[in-house]
Structure 1
Amino acid sequence: MTSTIDAGVCGFIGLGLMGMGMAKNLLKKRQHHLIIWNRDTGKARDLATAFPGRVTVANTPKEVVSTAQVTFSMLSTLEASAAVFEGPDGVLAGTGPSTAIVDCATLTPERMAEMATQVEEKGAIFLEAPVSGSKGPAEQGTLIFMCAGDKALYERVAEDLDAMGKARYFLGAVGAASRMKIVVNMTMGGMLACFSEGLGLAKAADLPLEDLLEILDGGACACPMFKLKGPHMLRRSYDAAFPLKHAQKDMRFAVELGDKLAQPLPVSAAANEVYKRARQQGHEDDDFSAVAEVTVHHDKQVNGGAANGKAGRA
């Protein structure tokens, strides 16, 4: 269905690792004027400078929502979501019958359902739309959207989602998209933790790690994530595309969901503990591939941190 908001005013809240790339793709590929808000006002001003005449920097989230025809939100944590959504000048304060909210964060299903109820009680409409992909796909416009909630809103913003991503799925009632995102990130986090253990075992067995990467890439274990992350893990280079603290948060969400559903998740529970240990060693703001510091480079740890300070940082 063709979007009904071409050349309209679109809101965007949250210009972090993911949100900045997403907002830029809306500006490059669509004809919207963006009204934006970010806690770091410098990032908002930088975006306005990069797209003169196309971007308005709002003073509050309330101003964004009360002005825009559709507002996209991309906030990284439950705490940030609550503060921005429910604050005195937050999203809810600006919500009314003409409001449409598309929340792209990775939150719990319960939190998404609560937000949807609060929005709908004000006569507005809500779509949850978490994404699969990290900083690179956000910049490239190749995210995968998992959506649930108001089907008409999903169809209304279809072209906007297509500008930011390569695929989109509508999964039903609010909560379903967050559950799917948790499953996806749990699987990804578990895979990387196991990969890291494999590198660690090969190292302990005095095997050439570069050869291991080639052997894995040439067989049934080949996958884009191992091919991308493996060389960085060997070099201890962890510039954040997906911060480890967020990966561990998502593993925790998965374990909690498993507990609620009485679904055994022994592998994911163990992987969660490995990510927690990496956080304790000071790698929470590094890329989640820094899990290698626990299983591959643990012999180089000094006093709970990397031997040369922040691992992999020039």
Structure 2
Amino acid sequence: MAKVAFLGLGVMGYPMARHLQAKGHEVTVYNRTHAKAERWVSENGGRTARTPREAAQGQEIVFACVGNDDDLRQVTLGPDGAFHGMGAGSIFVDHTTASAEVARELYAAAREKGFGCIDAPVSGGQAGAENGVLTVMCGGDADVYAKAEPAIMSFARASRLMGPAGAGQLTKMINQICIAGIVQGLSEGIHFGKKAGLDIEAVLDVISKGAAGSWQMENRGKTMNQGKFDFGFAVDWMRKDLSIVLGEARKNGASLPVTALVDQFYADVQKMGGNRWDTSSLIARLEK
């Protein structure tokens, strides 16, 4: 068991920190809105800190899950950032979905200060965080990852080191590329079936057992058919992720025509007022 801090108690971080505490780790939490950190402690135990720097002091592992690159730099490198409180030999594990660029930047800063850094974005959404079954994609040094992995597995079903710093974020980008294409294809299939007058639930039940089957079909197909889009991972967040993906593609020369197109389809959903709808709401723009 380790002394750990968790920075960021959003829809993902709140339950992830809870799993760490439940597994016996000694947890200190920080959140920009301090009242939320106090509520977490009232429900789970542990203690709060007023700044990331204070939260990080004396900890073996500092976890973070915040909004974007700028938020991440603020809680790590800012005046009261965690990197100013972490000691030599400690480890920073970042679960934010962010750019590979910021992952490498933080890795270099951590090495200069004498501690380890792992970029570790997650997949599985709010339900995966709540149930402790996230998939974690990591980048960094093998020896540092080996020390952090047992604590990461407090809220994960699977975790793997994918390569050097930034490799975790690059793997998460592939994850989002694949999701975007699958959800658009599923949206078009359900839309087509409705226009053809078929029983969509029966169709999904049959084709989910064959080559068309996917996690999205199993978990979102019926609700997409019903027009229900309130499952946690919002369109706004997906557009943020796809912006990172497309920015990286411009750097490495990858051609992502479908991803770019689906990103614009999500922009259409935002114009419909669906900013906080689940990503499966792509079907809504076909049926408006």
TM-score (normalizing by structure 1): 0.86
Pick aligned residue for 1:23 from 17, 24, 33: 17
The one-letter amino acid paired with 2:139 is A
Pick aligned residue for 1:48 from 41, 48, 53: 41
C-alpha separation between the residues in 1 aligned to 2:183 and 2:128?
18
Query: Aligned residue for 2:247?
Result: 256
Query: Aligned residue for 1:148?
Result: 139
Give runs of aligned pairs for residues 1-314 of structure 1, distance below 5 A: 6=1, 8-29=2-23, 31-52=24-45, 55-295=46-286, 297-298=287-288
Change beyond 3 A, Cα 1:261–1:98: closer
Residue 19 of structure 1 and its aligned partner are, at CA, apart by 0.9
Residue 82 of structure 1 and its aligned partner are, at CA, apart by 2.7
Q: Is the 8 A contact 1:95 1:119 kept in 2?
A: no
The one-letter amino acid paired with 2:68 is T
Q: Is the 8 A contact 1:186 1:250 kept in 2?
A: no
TM-score (normalizing by structure 2): 0.93
Question: What are the Cα deviations for residues 60-104 of structure 1, in whole angstroms up to 9, with x where unaligned?
Answer: 111111232210111122232233223221223324434421111
Q: Is the 8 A contact 2:5 2:27 kept in 1?
A: yes
C-alpha separation between the residues in 1 aligned to 2:217 and 2:35?
35
Question: What are the Cα deviations for residues 135-160 of structure 1, in whole angstroms up to 9, with x where unaligned?
Answer: 11111111111112132221112211
C-alpha separation between the residues in 2 aligned to 1:196 and 1:232?
11
Residue 211 of structure 1 and its aligned partner are, at CA, apart by 2.9
Q: Is the 8 A contact 2:9 2:36 kept in 1?
A: yes
Give the number of equivalent residue pairs: 288
C-alpha separation between the residues in 2 aligned to 1:113 and 1:217?
40
The one-letter amino acid paired with 2:22 is K
The one-letter amino acid paired with 1:180 is T
Change beyond 3 A, Cα 1:207–1:285: same
The one-letter amino acid paired with 1:48 is V
Q: Which runs of 5+ in 2 are unaligned?
A: none
Q: Among all aligned residue pairs of Structure 1 and Structure 2, give the percentage whose two residues are the same amino acid.
A: 28
**SS at structure 2 position matched to 1:22:** helix
Q: Is the 8 A contact 1:240 1:285 kept in 2?
A: no
Query: Higher mean Cα deviation, 177-186 or 275-284?
Result: 275-284
Q: Is the 8 A contact 1:65 1:99 kept in 2?
A: no
